[in-house]
Amino acid sequence: MKLGGDRETAGMRLSFSRHCVALIWSKRARARIFNESPQGCACIALRCRFMSLNPVQPPPTQDHKGIFTRLPFSEVTDKDLTFFKDLIPGRVVTDEDDLKSHNIDWLRTVRGHSKLLLRPKNTEEVSNILKYCNDRNLAVTPQGGNTGLVGGSVPVFDEIIISTALMDKVISFDQVSGSLVCQCGCILESLNQYLEGQGYIMPLDLGAKGSCHIGGNIATNAGGLRLLRYGSLRGTVLGLEAVLPNGTVLNCLNSLRKDNTGYDLKQLFIGSEGTLGLITAISILCPRKPSSVNVALLGCESFSKVLQVFTLCRDLLGEILSAFEFQDLESMNVVQTHLKLMNPLQESPFYILIETAGSSAQHDEEKLNVFLAKALESGLVNSGTVATDQSKIKSVWALRERITEALAHDGYVYKYDLSIPVEKLYALVEETRVRLGRTAKRVVGYGHLGDGNLHLNITSESHSKSLVAALEPFVYEWTAQHCGSISAEHGLGFKKRNHIYYSKSPEAVQLMQILKKLLDPKGIMNPYKTIPSSG
């Protein structure tokens, strides 16, 4: 099992104008990362997620005193097991060892103690499972690739885990419109590989692509690395099928671009984090695979220069700009230290990763050269490199994509995924650094700058209550004061549900609670997650 993987991109070597040659790293530095380093590209293929992380188990979530008490759901009996074994023979997991990795989240910060995992293969089986659970008042947690970062994908107590791993079939693909219909358990990277063979790509991409499922992506409304170009899942998902807690199959699986008949029910399930129903199939609009892809990594002296480069980028690269990511020096240090990746540039306070994707190599090359020359001449960037072939593109992307993984090696990680007006975005990292002083091991800032999305991460050797007290509510209050959102793309899950009021009005939360009650009157779907209980 892997998290990230091949970034199959048709790379074409560009020739550079005289101005731009000055930007490209020295041959020696290039050889260091791409040719000579034993880590080089080979280390981009990630290891099994649980092998790569701290082997120490987190304490059971139910022991977090005063957070939650178990709601009065039924407990699984032998009779229940017999029912499930008859329904999906050979796909009922009760072995404690086999359940371990499904009870612990990717960050290894929360741990449930489910005694039962079910592996349905189709919608009908999901419907029968949910109907039975609802009748018996058994709580369930839908689980995709279990790469979620807010503790939503694992049980809090003994909820039954419904894994979508065996629901991994492509149902259809329309070569003309680019609409893909598939089951919810398809792994994002596998879908992308399937589409590349047909001249298309998925409209989303994230560091966890080798493990996360498309159903999990939609349930979390994942953002990721291509949102700047292709927009959010709220726009690209054309339709979906979901099973409601009482077993009803809600078929909204059409592939139309335009459909104005009543409420857009699929939107309810996008970002619902398994609390309203289980998404079983999806229809998604996929863009054509770009034939020309370039990636530039640039060094910058200050955050204000990063912002100026962003403006310049939008002016000069326009429609071919497909990603604008940033990371600070501390996050570059963390991938170098823990994953032994090589930074090809000189040390800089900030780095920018820019990707262009288009249909004409010559046209893109000209645009990129003009942009790079201007950025260099105006002193906005101090160093840089451009990668045009696939392996080098992968190596450069790894420096940004693998920060999450590297941080997990650094110690206990306090994660904040925030939307903040872009000009204020880095001020929070600086203030947090000053506030925490030496009590934190690291304070790092990186993210999808093009989308105004900051990932503020703090690490310490082990979990520290005093650090949490210094961070919360400070981070949330700061974000709310600056009109931001306390969850840009990861969702609220178990960890953040009670902080929803920093970003949503009481009236909005109340309406969410009413909707939850309507669809899931017994509250069996992923309890203790996403929205505060209505009491």
Ligand X SMILES: Cc1cc2nc3c(=O)[nH]c(=O)nc-3n(C[C@H](O)[C@H](O)[C@H](O)COP(=O)(O)OP(=O)(O)OC[C@H]3O[C@@H](n4cnc5c(N)ncnc54)[C@H](O)[C@@H]3O)c2cc1C
Give a three-class secondary structure readout of 246-285.
CCCEEEECCCCCCCCCCCCCHHHHCCCCCCCCEEEEEEEE
Name the minimum Å distance from CB 219 to ligand X.
3
Q: SS3 for 160-209, per residue?
A: EEEECCCCCCEEEECCCCCEEEEECCCEHHHHHHHHHCCCECCCCCCCCC
| DSSP track, 386-450 | EE-SHHHHHHHHHHHHTHHHHHHTTSEEEEEEEE--GGGTTHHHHHHHHHHGGGSSEEEEEEEGG
Of 182 and 368, the one with the shorter C-beta distance to ligand X is 182
Question: Is residue 229 a contact partner of residue 313, using CB atoms and an 8 Å limit?
Answer: no
The smaller minimum CB distance to ligand X, of residues 198 and 248, is found at: 248
Measured between alpha carbons, how far is 190 from 203 in angstroms, rounded to an integer? Answer: 13
- In the bound state with ligand X, the residue whose beta carbon lies nearer, of 2 and 136, is 2
Comparison of 208 and 454: residue with beta carbon closer to ligand X:
208
DSSP labels for 28-71?
HHHIIIIII-SSTTGGGSPPPTTTSS--SPPPPGGGSTTT----
Angle between helices 390-401 and 329-339 (to 10 degrees): 110
Q: Which is nearer to ligand X, 216 or 384 (CB)?
A: 216
CB of 394 to ligand X, least distance (A): 15
Residues in touch with ligand X (CB under 6 A): 3, 106, 141-149, 152-153, 164, 184, 206-208, 212-213, 215-217, 219-220, 222-224, 273-274, 278-279, 404-405, 489-490, 493, 526, 529
Coil vs helix vs strand at 470:
helix
The Cα 4–Cα 48 span in angstroms is 10
Closer CB to ligand X, 164 or 382, in the complex: 164
Query: Looking at beta carbons only, is 11 or 112 nearer to ligand X?
Result: 112
Closest C-alpha among 232, 185, 181, 176 to residue 206: 232
Give me the least distance between CB of 404 and ligand X, in Å please. Answer: 4
- Closest CB 303 distance from ligand X, rounded Å: 21
> In the complex, what is the shortest distance from the CB of residue 424 to ligand X, in angstroms, rounded to a whole number?
21
Q: Closer to ligand X at the Cβ: 149 or 428?
A: 149
User: Which residue of the chain is nearest ligand X when measured via CB?
Assistant: 216
How far apart are the C-alpha atoms of 504 and 480, rounded to whole Å?
A: 10
Per the DSSP assignment, residues forming a β-bridge with 352 are 298, 326
Query: Nearest-CA neighbor of 418 among 451, 457, 468, 455?
Result: 455
Cβ 194 to ligand X, closest distance in Å? 17
What are 288's strand-pairing partners? 200
Q: Of 223 and 358, which has the nearer Cβ to ligand X?
A: 223
Question: Smallest distance from the beta carbon of 7 to ligand X, in angstroms?
Answer: 14
- We find the least distance from the C-beta atom of residue 220 to ligand X, in angstroms, to be 4
Nearest-approach distance from CB 444 to ligand X, in angstroms:
14
Report DSSP letters for 120-162, one per residue: --SHHHHHHHHHHHHHHT--EEEESSS--SSS-SS-SSSPEEE
Query: C-beta of 518: minimal distance to ligand X in Å?
Result: 17
Bridge pairing between strands 383-387 and 117-118: unpaired
In the bound state with ligand X, the residue whose beta carbon lies nearer, of 20 and 524, is 524
End-to-end CA distance of the chain: 40
